[in-house]
Amino acid sequence: MPPDPASAASRPQVVAHRGASDERAEHTLGAYVAALDAGADALECDVRLTADGHLVCVHDRNVRRTASRRGLVSTMELAELAELDFASWKNPWADLDDEAPERDEEHHRVLTLRKLCEVAADYDRRIEVAIETKHPTRYSGLVEKRVVEVLRDFGWHRAGTPARVMSFSFTALQRIERLAPEVPRVMLMERAQYWPALRRVIGRDWLVGPGVEELADHPWLGPRITRAGHGMHVWTVNTREHLDLCLELGVRAVITDRPAFILEELGA
């Protein structure tokens, strides 16, 4: 059953980090379907550009960790990536489990941003998509240009869009602001000490994405971000303790590897 809109409005948005990546292989269709089945409000993905210009949902620049072979995403074409298995690393003994469900190959292959947006757009309730562009990359600003092209194809470049773009790169978010000014932007922040400098340069309407460990280790950080008028989307919230901290700070979204757990803790 879809979550009650009223209850969803009274709690932080639950964003599935690379899908339900605690239990499924990250960035695979299987991980995102599991997140939707759990009731996640939004899907988070990292995107990289292939050698032939496709945006794929892959975190690392090298596919060795998730596809068990060497190769840089930026030097590989989509067809080459599509031949790889991006899921078996998560459960290498699955073939020995006689009770395991029949394998769906589509759930194990590389996922494009376009496909992920199609899944979100076709779902029976509003699903938002948080897209992180990875930098540095050999393609520089072409990544943001391609992201905006995909968003325009879905009509998601206008006000009210279910999409937002996140990055640790201030320059990348400036590009998004120029190319699609109505798309929300989230300035991700890895270290608390970066906040004084970031506060002076980010847009007044930008969201801020600190890591939950930084919020816990630096109690001054969350209140200062809030006082500056910025909503917070916090990563990666996987425990009750960290969820409680986010609730105390009034964050707008919690990004989690465990959407089912977080939703259960929220009573959703």
The pair phi, psi for residue 207, each rounded to 5°, is -85, 160
Return the higher-pLDDT residue of 95 and 32: 32
Q: How far apart are CA 113 and CA 119, in angstroms?
A: 10
Q: Confirm whether 17 is a catalytic residue.
A: yes
Q: How far apart are CA 86 and CA 93, in angstroms?
A: 15
Name the pairing type of β-strands 55-57 and 42-49. Answer: antiparallel
pLDDT digits (tens, 9 = 90+) for 189-216: 999 999 999 999 999 999 999 999 999 9
Cβ atoms within 10 Å, residue 59: 18
Q: How far apart are CA 40 and CA 257, in angstroms?
A: 11
CB distance 210 to 221 below 8 Å: yes
CB distance 216 to 225 below 8 Å: no
pLDDT digits (tens, 9 = 90+) for 44-55: 999 999 999 999
What residues have CB less than 8 Å from 236, skipping those under 6 apart?
17, 211, 212, 255, 256, 257
pLDDT digits (tens, 9 = 90+) for 69-107: 999 999 999 999 999 999 999 976 555 455 555 667 788
Return the amino acid letter for 139. Y
CB distance 241 to 254 below 8 Å: no
What residues have CB less than 8 Å from 178, skipping those under 6 apart?
none
Per-residue confidence at 9, pLDDT binned at 50, 70, 90?
confident
- Assign domain 13-60+113-266 one CATH number from 3.40.50.12780, 3.20.20.190, 2.102.10.10, 3.50.50.60: 3.20.20.190
Per-residue confidence at 5, pLDDT binned at 50, 70, 90?
very low
Q: Which residue in the list 59, 108, 230, 242 is annotated as catalytic?
A: 59
Q: Specify the pTM.
A: 0.93
Q: For the chain, give every domain's residue range.
A: 13-60+113-266
Instruction: Identify the pLDDT of residue 11.
Output: 97
Q: How far apart are CA 171 and CA 181, in angstroms?
A: 14
Cβ atoms within 10 Å, residue 103: 13
